[in-house]
Chains A and B, each alone.
Chain A
Amino acid sequence: MRTQIFRPAVAAIACGAVFVLLPITASAHHGWGGNAREATEMTGTVMEGVSLAGPHATMKLNVNDEAWDITLAPPARTSRAGLQEGIIPVGATVTVNGNRNSDPDRLEMKTFMVKWGDQSFHVYPDR
């Protein structure tokens, strides 16, 4: 009796698992779900320099007199991209590319590229 319901049940669970695990679209990547679909670019001046502390590296930019939280990659990855603390001084003009927070009231951008002068820091190389 038990084996008769066992195999179809396993098959059903396996199918369900495959469906759930299939990558749906590129933007369903871990961590990018709460951000806008389209990438945008912003230019501003550094308010707080790059910090490699915490779960994600961060910096703060003044963009048109608004304080923006720039969320970068995890510390090790950000560092590997060459973006160390103290490289970009406070007050420097940088351009960032990323996906802003899908909540319009949150001035936060999940950023994959930071450009300063002729230097580019591609912290999420696949974006």
Chain B
Amino acid sequence: MWLEGSALGYAMRNSGLWTYGVVNLAHIIGVATLFGSILMLDLKLLGLWRSIPLASLSRPAATLGAAGFILALITGLGLLATQATEYIGNPFFYIKFPAIALGLVNVLLIHRSAAWVAHRARDLSAREERQLAGMGGVSLLCWLTALSTGRMIGYW
């Protein structure tokens, strides 16, 4: 596969004994950052912590989540390039990436929703809160699936 034969793949395999381990570590830190911040945000959207305004959580959570995602994405490419052909046929692989894609689409929908756009300026209607709760639930499902299947790749 071209990814395995790329310069990135070559660098991953030949730059040192600890390279894969360090890249893997950075990947986990990215995933943990992403999941931890999104977990809090999604639980808030689903109704927890009613006394805390959404506006207090939303920006730190979204910022951390984005940072975590970018780190996970870049390092994930490195991990993949190391031995891409080994993953052909691994079912966890084929669930993980659609889950991530769905999660990203959901992020787009949340950020473009009227409710999210307005949430810092005014109170939200019950209907708007329900809408955000629904998208928060989808978010949780997607990222939990991505995380879980990602971890299980190594056990196939």
Query: Interface on A for B, CB 8 Å cutoff?
Result: 34, 51-55, 74-76, 79
Q: State the majority secondary structure of interface residues on B.
A: helix
How many angstroms between the C-alpha atoms of A53 and B18 in the bound complex? 9
Identify which of B14, B17, B86 gathers the most chain A CB atoms within 10 Å of its CB. B17
Q: Check if B17 sits within 8 Å of A55, measured CB to CB.
A: no
B residues with CB within 8 A of A: 12-14, 17-18, 20-21, 24, 82-83, 86, 154-155
Which 6 residue pairs across A and B have the least CB separation, nearest first? A53-B13, A75-B17, A76-B17, A54-B83, A54-B82, A79-B17
Q: Which of A34, A51, A54, A55 has the most B CB atoms < 10 Å from its CB?
A: A54
How many contacts between A and B, using CB within 8 angstroms? 27
CB pair B14 A53 closer than 8 Å: yes
Instruction: Give the chain B neighbours of A74 by CB distance below 8 A.
Output: 21
Contact B17 A51 (CB under 8 A): no
Cβ of A52 and Cβ of B82 under 8 Å apart? no
Chain A residues lying within 8 Å of B155, measured Cβ to Cβ, are 34
Q: Which residue of B lies closest to A34 (CB)?
A: B155
